[in-house]
Amino acid sequence: MEIRLLGPVEARCGDVRLELGPRQQRLLLAVLALETNRLVPTDRLIDLTWPGGPPRTARHAVQVSVSRLRATLRAAPAAGSVEVLSRADGYLLAAHPHRVDAHLFRALVRQAHTTPGGEARARLLRRALSLWRGPALAGAGPPETVDGLVRGLTEERLTAQEERMDAELDAGNHIQVLGGLLELVARHPYRQRFVAQLMIAQHRSGLTADALTTYRRTRSALVRELGLDPGPRLRRLEQAILRGDPDLEPAPGPAAVR
C-alpha cells in the first residue's frame, strides 16, 4: 500500500485507489501519515480539523472517522502493511515510512546529499521530485490547516529543486534544464539561487547576453519590489560572466566552481 500526500491525499494498492471518504477522513489520514509511527494526540486532530473551534461532538467525530478509515485500510488488498492504531490519548499510523511519499521524498533527498557525482545526485533528486503531483495535501482540509501542515514540505521541495539543478549543472546538463530553469525563475523571481543557475545555464549554452539580461532584470525587480540589491553570489556571477571566467564551464570530474 502507498499513501500519497504530495498532491491530493490518496491511498493506493497498485493501480487500485482506495475510497477514503469525505475530506475529514482524508485530513485525518494525512496528519497521521505525516507523523508515521508517531503518536498524534486526539486533541491535535480536533484542533486541525476544526481550526475555528470544534463542535461538542468533535471527539466522537474523530473516533468515527478513525473507525471508517481503519475499516477501509483493513479491506484493502495489502491489509496489514498500513494500520491505524489507537492509544490512550491518540492514534498513530503504523507503516514503513517509505510507504508514505512524503517520507520517501525526504529519504531520497538525504541519499542525494551523500552521493558523489552530479549525474547520480541528479537522478536521485529527479526521482524524489517526481513524487510530487501538485500542492501537498491539496483539498484535504481547511486552508489554514493545510498551509500550516505543509509549509515545511513546500520549502523542502523548492530546496530539492535547487539542489537538483545544481547537480544537473555539475553533470553538464545545462541545455537540458534551461527550459525548466526559465519556468522556475518565472514562478520564483526573488529566489536568487534559481536565478544564478539560470544565468550559468544560459552562459554555458552560448546565451551570454541572455544571462546578463537575466541579471539586470532580477536586480531591477529586487530593487523595485523589495528595496534590495542582488546578493554577493549573483554579483560575483555577473562579473565572472563578463570576464569569461573559465571556472564557469562544466567540469568533467568535480563540480564546476560557481
- The CATH number of residue 6's host domain is 1.10.10.10
Q: Say if 62 falls within a structural domain.
A: yes
Q: Say if 92 falls within a structural domain.
A: yes
Secondary structure class of 80 (helix, strand, coil): coil
d(CA 93, CA 104): 16
Q: Say if 154 falls within a structural domain.
A: no
**Domain ends where: 70, 97, 124?**
97
Nearest to 91 by CA among 48, 44, 39, 35: 39
**Domain ends where: 97, 126, 152?**
97
Q: Say if 233 falls within a structural domain.
A: yes
In the prediction, which pLDDT does 254 show? 43
- Whichever domain contains 179, its CATH number is 1.25.40.10
Q: Are 90 and 6 in a shared domain?
A: yes
d(CA 177, CA 85): 45
pLDDT band at 256 (very low <50, low <70, confident <90, very high): very low
In the prediction, which pLDDT does 250 show? 79
Q: Residues 26-44: pLDDT tens digits?
A: 999 999 999 999 999 999 9
Whether the full predicted model's pTM is greater than 0.85, yes or no, is yes
Q: Tally the domains of the chain.
A: 2
Q: Say if 195 falls within a structural domain.
A: yes
Q: Say if 75 falls within a structural domain.
A: yes
| Helix intervals (H) in 4-94 | 23-34, 42-49, 58-74
Contact assessment for residue 197 and residue 179, using Cβ atoms and an 8 Å cutoff: no
Range of the domain at 76: 2-97
**Domain ends where: 62, 97, 132?**
97
Q: Say if 245 falls within a structural domain.
A: yes
Q: Say if 226 falls within a structural domain.
A: yes
Residue 125 to residues 87, 175, 239, 240: CA-CA distances in angstroms?
37, 18, 30, 28
